[in-house]
Structure 1
Amino acid sequence: MVSLLTISLLGTMALGFFGVIPPLKFYVRVFVYLLLIVISALYGVVSSIIFTLTGYQGLSQWSTARVFYFLCHHILGITVIIKNPKNLTIRPAVFISNHQSELDILLLGATFPKYCSVTAKKSLKYYPFLGWFMTLSGSVFIDRVNRTNALKAFEGAIKQVKRVNQSVFIFPEGTRSYSLTPTLLPFKKGAFHFATQAGIPIVPYVISNYSKIFSFKTRTFESGIIEVELLDPIDTTSIKAEDVGALCEKTRENMLAVVEKLQYGPQTPQDKKTK
């Protein structure tokens, strides 16, 4: 039988989840979010084995991403609106996006293209569940401490892109901004070197600032709508190595303009209640 303590704990968590006990809301919803990541990663491990054995490994991460978004959308009440979704079908390509927080995993869940792989720091390979899934689904791991290994990882990824016509996804900011205002951190050049060396287009997309929905700084985790706008693909076939820096800065300027245009995206239910 379920103990009284267990019932009380579950009841308290439920009250926190729905905001009846406001101080608990952020922490309970983060716990649920992490639980959904684990569930999706377990699904990803199993599905990646099946996709790999049937010759469709390139669909592993896309499939898991959609499952994760489906769960988060229905359980946490977060909806992602995508403008120009046709650009997600470009293949192969280097997809890049702004990087705000851990909630970006949910945004990838809604936008991740078919036949695409993430790049990730090598240490993630050893994480339970998530690392298992990423390894089985063909992720590219990069040792950021050792430049030689990082270059080898990119060389292998470029060969894979050309061999199986697969795209990659990279956050050019390199780290989460956790910004409460619509802005971008400086870009690193890795994604742009990758695209120019592979001779494939860069497809940027911009996520509206969602700090009113989720923020570690303010301990906010609400339901709401997040907007994503895909920009036109950037041809890199004529870009030389010495021009990568300029390409990087120009792309950042274009994305920053869209960040400032999107601002905080559509209103959240909480915003409407306060008006």
Structure 2
Amino acid sequence: MSWLLYTMAAPPILIVFLRFLSLILPGKMAQLVSFAAFFITSMIMMSISAMYGVFASIVLRTVGYGGLSQWTVARVFKWLMWYTTGVTFKVTNSGGEEALLTRPAVLLGNHQSELDVLMLGCTFPKYTSVTAKKSLKWAPFLGWFMTLSKTVFIDRANRTTARAAFDSAANTMRTERQNVFIFPEGTRSYAEQPELLPFKKGAFHLAIQAQVPIIPIVVANYAHVLNVKKREFHPGVIDVSVLPPISTKGMTAENVDALMKKTRDAMLDELIRLSHVSGEGNGMPLPRTSGRDEQSELRKRN
């Protein structure tokens, strides 16, 4: 029994030790040690949340509320990370929280790093499921939780099975009013500037097939909080902006390209604007394509 206690106590002791070292070591060494402490803490908090998620999903499915599984686990992860690392995401624009109540819908977000899992924890509305690569299905606890909580698993190497997964998701959205969250860039950008990778079309095909609106969720560039390339981490609150829903009513597959461009342009404009709201700007001029008055918008959002 003692070995189990030692095993459980080792990670917290290591984290405390690393955080102490980060206070006394010089510059670069302190930065790397702080990053290591954050990484280990995040893995532990995610594991705890996934284990909770397995049991929560079983209980919620038993009582007929399986669609809430990912939402309740997201909130647990949000608070665990806030109390242990001091980092969180916050919807800052007026009307953003109201837009998140739209359902069913396809929610789209820009994908910067592994920290976006916490962004989901902070913004995830009720009755929402994520998409994930099929290989995660077999991961202990995390895969079990995701399987039990209606995750849409995608086999990116097989177009036939990927299309079947989206067909099933579209049907679930219509019949159970379940949202689906997708990162349309398909991979993390690790961007240090307000920029987006090219979008993939799957999310837009899904929204049109289900005839549900798209809700763009734009996360401010947070390289000043977490920079994976440079191994830097600093606690902080990261701004999130939820744009108005984009209707897909009456659209067909022929409209996918135009819909994708419209959505990406709106998200990129807001991403650049968020960088100015934060006071950084990153050398990018404010966009003028939205038709909104730039200075009044900045005043309103500050």
The secondary structure found in structure 2 opposite 1:113 is: coil
- Label 1:13 to 1:255 Cα distance change in 2 as closer, same or farther (>3 A): same
CA distance in 2, matches of 1:177, 1:217: 11
Q: For 1:134 and 1:86, how far apart are their aligned partners in 2?
A: 26
| 1:10 Cα deviation after fit | 5.8
Partner Cα separation in structure 1 for residue 276 and residue 235 of structure 2: 14
Q: 2:86 aligns with which of 53, 77, 92?
A: 77
Query: Does residue 28 of the first structure (1) align with residue 28 of the second (2)?
Result: no
1:77 is matched by which residue type in structure 2? G
**Structure 1 equivalent of residue 51 of structure 2:** 42
Which residue, out of 209, 214, 217, partners 1:202?
Answer: 214
> Is residue 116–residue 168 contact of structure 1 (8 Å, CA) maintained in 2?
yes
Please list every run of at least 4 consecutive aligned residues from structure 1 whose deviation after the TM superposition is greater than 3 angstroms.
6-11, 18-21, 264-268
Q: Does 1:234 align with 2:246?
A: yes
Contact 1:140 1:157 in 2 (8 A): yes
Asked whether the equivalents of residues 57 and 69 of structure 2 are also in contact (C-alpha less than 8 Å), the reply is yes
| Shift in alpha-carbon separation, 1:19–1:96, aligned structure 2, 3 A | farther
Corresponding residue number in structure 1 for 2:148: 136
The answer to whether the 8 A contact 2:70-2:129 is kept is yes
Aligned length in residues? 265
Distance 1:242 1:220 in 2: 44
Shift of the alpha carbon at 1:13? 2.3
Q: Secondary structure at the match of 2:89?
A: strand
Residue of structure 2 aligned with 1:254, choices 266, 284, 291: 266
Structure 2 stretches lacking a partner, 5+ long: 281-302
What amino acid does structure 2 have at the position aligned with 1:190?
G
Give CA deviations for 1:28-82 in whole Å, capped at 9, x if unaligned: 1111011100000011111001100010000000000000001111111113220
| Inter-partner Cα distance in structure 2 for 1:149 and 1:81 | 36
User: TM-score normalized by structure 2?
Assistant: 0.83
Q: How does 1:128-207 map to 2 (within 5 A)?
A: 128-207=140-219
Q: Report how far residue 138 of structure 1 moved.
A: 1.1
The 1:264–1:103 alpha-carbon spacing in structure 2 relative to 1, beyond 3 Å, is farther
CA distance in 1, matches of 2:195, 2:14: 40
- Residue 105 (structure 2) pairs with residue 96 (structure 1): no
> What TM-score does the superposition give when structure 1 sets the normalisation length?
0.91
The aligned amino acid for 1:262 is L
Report the secondary structure of 2:100's partner residue: helix
Unpaired runs of 5+ residues, structure 1, are: 269-275
1:173-220 Cα offsets, whole Å, 9 max, x none, are: 000000011110111111000000100000001000001100111111
Q: Contact 2:15/2:37 (CA < 8 Å) preserved in 1?
A: no
Give the Cα–Cα distance (whole angstroms) in 2 for the partners of residues 255 and 160 of structure 1: 27
Note if contact 2:15-2:40 (Cα within 8 Å) is conserved in structure 1: no
Match for residue 271 of structure 1?
Answer: none
